[in-house]
Amino acid sequence: MKVAIVSDLHLGYERFYDDAYTQASEALTKASEIADAIIIPGDIFDFRSPKPDVIAQGLNIFRQLKDKMWEARITKYSGQGRIFTDIPVIAIPGTHERRAQDSENAVEIMNLAGFLANGSEATIEISKGAEKISVSSLGGVSEERVKDMLKEYSFSPVPGQFSIFMLHQSIYELLPFSDEFICYDDLPKGFDLYVSGHIHSKVIAKVHGKPFLIPGSTVLTQLKDGEQEPKGFFVFDTQTNEYKFHEISSRKFMVERIDISDKDPSQIKMEVVEKLAKATKSKVQNKPIIRIVLEGRSNESTKQISMEISEIIKNETNAVVELSKGNVENYEMESNIESLRQKSIENLSIKDYGMVLFLERLKDNNYKLGVSASELFDMLTADTNKEKVIKKATDIVLESTPP
């Protein structure tokens, strides 16, 4: 059986709203033409509570999958919830869809409508003829809870079936930034394939001696170095254990680094102009995204240099250009460990980085309230009804504070 792995569609992503929709649609349509089943390890949507027009986008894309005449079908569900379709399209909620406990997330709404099967905290069997495979999944949960959740559910492969384990989490080997993150060794043993979402660039690794695949996002979001490669999805053949990455049409993204050491502003400006001219030489339908990264040490004011380059960027009409300072402010050599730590920040989304800082600050202050720190963070960063969630968080704090 051929299984497509498509992840992190981020429908509703505001900066590249149209890209998110068209590229998600292309990825899922192509995947349905090539594969017998599709699994989606999280972040179909970019918000916990998507707007109606974004929900409509999701319904429109997944309706096409629902209407296809699939040879493979879901034949068994083992979990605490319910599914309402037998089409072999399985998804889990990611960090962007995770909501406070007892609140329905957008993936579950799609599940209730029968457009996909919510595989979170469950094992789902897919059959095609005489072949059966199983997909066991843990939906995106807070980093502080994931190890306990893995122990609680004790996921294990189904005997006699090709078994896949799917999750949506930060992995320490890929993001060595927090000791809250799980390691490869924390994942349940015995599965034939491990897949994850969350990280927006392609990853190919091994877990317990078996393939571990992350396809990356289908749309540019974080503008990190790893997103320069083409977007797309994996298709894994359970009979041959071979896999292939299939590219989709996506907006081109380039990172151009400029060493400003011992250069005067006019030299730096000229180098920026030359790099932009080279990068925009080929005309394309969607303007490419170019990230200019300044590096090194300059005797000139970095603020003045940035202002002058910003003027060039403002007048650029053939590309979307961003400016960042890289390690301009860092003149001393870092240790290998600290360099790795700083590199890991590059792969974290702003929300995830904020979560890490929030948890570290609470830990430093001996946080001992009656609700998990991650749940408190989720409430405080909720994208709807701010007054209500802040009041709830305040009530929890007051109830948990000794008189």
Looking at residues 125-138, what average pLDDT do you find? 97
Domain ranges of the chain: 2-247, 253-332, 350-400
pLDDT at 159: 96
Give CA–CA dist 294/275, Å, rounded. Answer: 13
Q: Residue 392: which pLDDT band, with cuts at 50, 70 and 90?
A: low
Rg from Cα positions in the chain:
23
Give CA–CA dist 4/359, Å, rounded. Answer: 35
Q: For a pLDDT cut of 90, what percent of the chain falls above it?
A: 52
CA 273 → CA 129, 284, 311, 313, 369, distances in Å? 59, 19, 11, 9, 54
Comparing 192 with 278, the larger pLDDT belongs to: 192
Which pLDDT tens digit goes with each residue over 16-31? Answer: 999 999 999 999 999 9
The beta strand positions in 94-130, using DSSP E, are: 117-118, 122-128
Q: Residue 326: which pLDDT band, with cuts at 50, 70 and 90?
A: low
CA 97 → CA 9, 93, 154, 290, distances in Å? 12, 6, 24, 29
Comparing 260 with 88, the larger pLDDT belongs to: 88
DSSP label at 167? E
pLDDT at 279: 83
Looking at residues 241-252, what average pLDDT do you find? 94
Give CA–CA dist 179/65, Å, rounded. Answer: 39
Query: What is the homologous superfamily of the domain 2-247 according to CATH?
Result: Metallo-dependent phosphatases (3.60.21.10)
Give CA–CA dist 370/375, Å, rounded. Answer: 11
Give 255's strand partners: 291
Which pLDDT tens digit goes with each residue over 50-80? Answer: 999 999 999 999 999 999 999 999 999 999 9
**pTM for this model (two decimals):** 0.79
Say if residue 145's pLDDT is above 50.
yes
Looking at residues 371-375, what average pLDDT do you find? 61
Exposed, middle or buried: residue 165 (CB in 10 Å: 0-12, 13-18, 19+)?
buried
Say if residue 176's pLDDT is above 90.
no
Q: Residue 325: which pLDDT band, with cuts at 50, 70 and 90?
A: confident
Q: Residue 340: which pLDDT band, with cuts at 50, 70 and 90?
A: very low
Say if residue 127's pLDDT is above 80.
yes
pLDDT at 334: 40
218 and 16 Cβ atoms separated by less than 8 Å: no
Comparing 101 with 254, the larger pLDDT belongs to: 254
Say if residue 371's pLDDT is above 70.
no
Lowest mean pLDDT among 129-133, 143-147, 355-359: 355-359
pLDDT at 362: 67
Lowest mean pLDDT among 95-99, 111-115, 131-135: 95-99
pLDDT at 306: 80
Looking at residues 361-388, what average pLDDT do you find? 61
92 and 137 Cβ atoms separated by less than 8 Å: yes
CA 325 → CA 93, 271, 293, 345, distances in Å? 34, 15, 6, 15
Question: Which of these, 323, 268, 316, lies nearest to 293 by C-alpha position?
Answer: 323
Q: Residue 178: which pLDDT band, with cuts at 50, 70 and 90?
A: confident
Give CA–CA dist 286/399, Å, rounded. Answer: 53
